[in-house]
Chain A
């Protein structure tokens, strides 16, 4: 009688198996090798192993070669591959995030990304700012921004502000504008102030799943301290995390992106929009509002309500929108990605905005104003292009 030998599964086998979790993970086995994912990927051409080739490597049991390449870090988790995959494989959520997770576990973390992750670990925000100063952006502004635990114990709406909207000087402008809109509409809301932590979604998609879980748990603790009807946020990444991923950790709260919240109040908002905002406006669909969550109409409805505004579309729009380059860790891999590609997707996008004939590029994600404004500075023909969050355009139209 021969004794069957038991061998430990290889890394290739365990990794492949880890992707095949329900409800959609097993679809990885149905990959047709059509290559659409790799073709549509904004950085597929610089990747040693774009998604399709990664799956081919798994099937050939040579995934260790993928792990030796650092070009997985070119993935900006933009969902373009997931969107076009005819087999419905969760490429962004599973394949790319898991590959990055393995790289992090093996210690292969680009230095810029490491700093961002360490900041999130230590301070609860990726910018490495004092958590005590999270609500400092509300100081000295006209709008009233109540804080849970201070001015209010309960409110209809919990406004989850997020890291960039709290700390980044450019994005604070959007936050202040949103406070103005909420005040004008008489919304009963409050923010969490220093009780709030980063949502962790981009850290998760950059492969730091454990950090995401810690941040989610901290936010859950803060959410549970107060009474509120729903969460709203200006950040599509936070929206995506709270809507789609927090529930898998047992953290379930109703959440909407501000464009949904305001579109619902359009009739109340319209009479306030008095000043014309002239010129052509083009809207950049944020990946985590559009492709990841199918919200395309609400931001456009808000823009169309602005007197004088003429909405034009870019060559990539809606489902085919081109990523600003900030997702999945891209915000924190600027130098790394520049070294590999010598270009930025934000620059391509600004060129598309010019080609559309627009003079204003409207956005709805906190990653975008700084990224696109930087791109406007580096793309010669973009000089004069305005980058404005939809909220900022609304406020401009509301002002006397």
Chain B
């Protein structure tokens, strides 16, 4: 079975986020990118399926800084093909354009099952998965935390709020938005990643033109601003508690 995992890198929140001079986007020079956590789970789920005998895993990513590490690590875990899509990614890319790029390319791989992270913390305009499924004319199930593959269908476990889990069959080919792999993403020792760097091949293909139709435009990006309504109570614990009780009385709560 042909398993394809489209992944993206997102800003690493360990670093400070800096808004650039335009005031509408993050300063790319201050950013450090890392693999979207949910995409890491999608890779793991695909490799778990492969290990159960379900074919080959191809990981596809936009060719941006940091992507080689993510791809080689995926290969060290068990991915078979590593593909970078080259294009003008310098100004960032929204999910509408990214989903179209993925759809255009992934179609050529004739995937039977596409696994991708259900979401990312920088999804401003919808997750990649459902849009990708729409462009490819495939069914989509999101918030998936378990997959079993049969001949031409997948049985997936989908998480609902409130602790409910549904088990459903999906006809293949299909796109799954992975919430969590059946097992946490595995650790690969650095020696294994380095060995993989020497043997694994990174293939590059040109990405289709970025088509952003349908995407929102960011007008202003800003840090949360202090509201005027909040009153900060100063003083020691006793003084603050006394003032709080007074306020509760004034407001008629006590």
A interface residues with partner B (beta carbon < 8 Å): 101, 104-105, 107, 109, 111, 114, 117-118, 121-123, 128-130, 132, 208-211, 213-214
**Does A211 contact B190, Cβ atoms closer than 8 Å?**
yes
Stretch of B80-88, B126-134, B181-189 at the chain-chain interface: B181-189
Cβ 8 A contact of B15, one of A132, A209, A213: A132
**Does A107 contact B186, Cβ atoms closer than 8 Å?**
yes
Q: Which residues of A contact B190 (CB under 8 A)?
A: 121, 208, 210-211, 213-214
User: Given the known A-B contacts A129-B14, A210-B194, are A109 and B34 also in contact in the complex, defined by CB atoms under 8 Å?
Assistant: no
Q: When chains A and B are docked, how far (Å) is the Cα of A341 from the Cα of B194?
A: 36
Q: When chains A and B are docked, how far (Å) is the Cα of A109 from the Cα of B184?
A: 11
Chain B residue at minimum C-beta to C-beta distance from A104: B189
Chain A residue at minimum C-beta to C-beta distance from B30: A132
Q: When chains A and B are docked, how far (Å) is the Cα of A132 from the Cα of B34?
A: 16
Query: Which residues between 160 and 206 of chain B lie within 8 Å of chain A, taking CB atoms?
Result: 184, 186-187, 189-192, 194
B interface residues with partner A (beta carbon < 8 Å): 14-16, 34, 184, 186-187, 189-192, 194
**Does A130 contact B187, Cβ atoms closer than 8 Å?**
no
Q: When chains A and B are docked, how far (Å) is the Cα of A320 from the Cα of B133?
A: 64
Cβ 8 A contact of B187, one of A107, A123, A129: A107
**Does B14 contact A104, Cβ atoms closer than 8 Å?**
no
Q: Which residues of A contact B14 (CB under 8 A)?
A: 123, 128-130
A sample of 9 inter-chain contacts (CB < 8 A) reads A104-B187, A105-B192, A107-B186, A109-B186, A118-B187, A121-B190, A209-B191, A210-B194, A211-B189
* New contact pairs (10) apart from A118-B187, A208-B189, A213-B190, CB-CB < 8 Å: A105-B189, A105-B192, A109-B187, A121-B190, A130-B14, A208-B190, A210-B191, A210-B192, A211-B189, A211-B190
Chain B nearest CB, measured from A219 CB (Å): 15
Chain A nearest CB, measured from B117 CB (Å): 17
Q: When chains A and B are docked, how far (Å) is the Cα of A50 from the Cα of B247?
A: 63
**Does B192 contact A114, Cβ atoms closer than 8 Å?**
no
Q: When chains A and B are docked, how far (Å) is the Cα of A209 from the Cα of B15?
A: 27
Chain A residue at minimum C-beta to C-beta distance from B35: A122
Chain B residue at minimum C-beta to C-beta distance from A118: B187
Q: Which residues of B contact A123 (CB under 8 A)?
A: 14
Chain B residue at minimum C-beta to C-beta distance from A210: B191
Chain B residue at minimum C-beta to C-beta distance from A215: B190
Chain A residue at minimum C-beta to C-beta distance from B190: A210
**Does A111 contact B194, Cβ atoms closer than 8 Å?**
no
**Does B34 contact A114, Cβ atoms closer than 8 Å?**
no
Q: When chains A and B are docked, how far (Å) is the Cα of A101 from the Cα of B192?
A: 12
Chain A nearest CB, measured from B137 CB (Å): 38
- In the A-B complex, the 8 residue pairs with the smallest Cβ-Cβ separation, listed nearest first, are A210-B191, A210-B190, A114-B187, A109-B187, A211-B190, A130-B14, A130-B15, A104-B189
Q: Which residues of A contact B186 (CB under 8 A)?
A: 107, 109
Chain B residue at minimum C-beta to C-beta distance from A212: B190
Chain A nearest CB, measured from B34 CB (Å): 7
Q: Which residues of B contact A214 (CB under 8 A)?
A: 190
Q: When chains A and B are docked, how far (Å) is the Cα of A210 from the Cα of B186?
A: 17
Q: When chains A and B are docked, how far (Å) is the Cα of A211 from the Cα of B30?
A: 26
Q: When chains A and B are docked, how far (Å) is the Cα of A293 from the Cα of B16?
A: 40
**Does A122 contact B34, Cβ atoms closer than 8 Å?**
yes
Chain B nearest CB, measured from A283 CB (Å): 36
Q: When chains A and B are docked, how far (Å) is the Cα of A208 from the Cα of B188?
A: 10
Q: Which residues of B contact A208 (CB under 8 A)?
A: 189-190
Q: When chains A and B are docked, how far (Å) is the Cα of A214 from the Cα of B191?
A: 9
Q: Which residues of B contact A122 (CB under 8 A)?
A: 34
Q: When chains A and B are docked, how far (Å) is the Cα of A121 from the Cα of B66?
A: 13
Chain A nearest CB, measured from B207 CB (Å): 26
Q: Which residues of B contact A109 (CB under 8 A)?
A: 186-187
Q: When chains A and B are docked, how far (Å) is the Cα of A130 from the Cα of B187?
A: 21
Q: Which residues of A contact B187 (CB under 8 A)?
A: 104, 107, 109, 114, 117-118
Q: Which residues of A contact B191 (CB under 8 A)?
A: 105, 209-210
